[in-house]
Amino acid sequence: MNSFANKVAIITGAGQGIGKAIAQAFSHHEVHVIIADNDEESGKETQQWIEEKGGTATFIPCDVAQEASIKSLIHQVMDDNGRIDFLINNAGVSRFKPIRELSVKEFDEVLTINLRSAFIFAKYAEPLLRKSGKGAIVNIASTRALMSEPDSEAYAASKGGILALTHALANSLAPDIRVNAISPGWIEVRDWKKTSARQEVQHREIDKKQHLVGRVGTPEDIGRAAVFLCSGELTFMTGQNMVIDGGMTVKMMYEE
């Protein structure tokens, strides 16, 4: 894999869960990580954790629902670092409610945080990503963009939008910036929460058997994929969606 030394990556929602693992993965490759998160406890904790492991990171508080907050972060990163090489749009929320109980305000909130923020980050980071020469964007979608359970309208719509936004951006930003998506399946994040919210994880055998690989996914699985998508190994890949679900979506399930 080509050297990432001295490059800069913005990772939204990097304080906990999948975002934290992505931040860790990039820091292992000597990338300076910008932790964009609105939770001060988790953001500072992730920065300290990365630094203790020998990496470099900066926590910058950011409310991805607010355009002004995103613009401010982009300007600060440019002032402090002079470059942006990678953008990982990971921040997201969910509201799983029956449609009769899900308010329009809640629906809009999910789309604002999950989808609109990815567009705004790409919009304002684009000149700097283009300037870096080999810029890359990775949008974190979900297998719920492709399949659903009841009461998932807001989340599914936002992640389906991420996939459409990904191929649209890949066209608009070519050839200087590659844009791809990752659709995680069942990824266990309870043990990747901030200290005050962390939980011990135990999975049943039936949970493991739903996956062809025999286990539930981990945030590290997604972190490694995000780094790979930004690497010089995949310069011929753009506008694509990488499904990482342990084979869950291709396994036929029957009730016994």
Distance, in Å, from the CA atom of 129 to the CA atom of 61, rounded to the nearest integer, reads 21
Active site residues: 155
Distance, in Å, from the CA atom of 134 to the CA atom of 236, rounded to the nearest integer, reads 12
pTM confidence score: 0.94
Q: What is the 3-state secondary structure (H, E, C) of the chain?
A: CCCCCCCEEEEECCCCHHHHHHHHHHHHCCCEEEEEECCHHHHHHHHHHHHHCCCCEEEEECCCCCHHHHHHHHHHHHHHHCCCCEEEECCCCCCCCCCCCCCHHHHHHHHHHHHHHHHHHHHHHHHHHHHCCCEEEEEECCHHHCCCCCCCHHHHHHHHHHHHHHHHHHHHHCCCEEEEEEEECCECCHHHCCHHHCCCCCCCHHHHHCCCCCCCECHHHHHHHHHHHHCHHHCCCCCCEEEECCCHHHCCCCCC
pLDDT on residue 196: 72
pLDDT on residue 96: 95
Task: Work out the pLDDT band at 35, boundaries 50, 70, 90.
Answer: very high
Q: Are 175 and 133 in contact (CB under 8 A)?
A: no
Q: What is the pLDDT of residues 48-74, one digit of tens each?
A: 999 999 999 999 999 999 999 999 999
Task: Look at the block and give the residue holding tokens 């990171």.
Answer: 57
Amino acid at position 205, single letter: E
Task: Work out the pLDDT band at 207, boundaries 50, 70, 90.
Answer: confident
Q: What is the pLDDT of residues 177-204, one digit of tens each?
A: 999 999 999 899 887 676 776 778 787 8
Domains along the chain with CATH numbers: 8-250 (3.40.50.720)
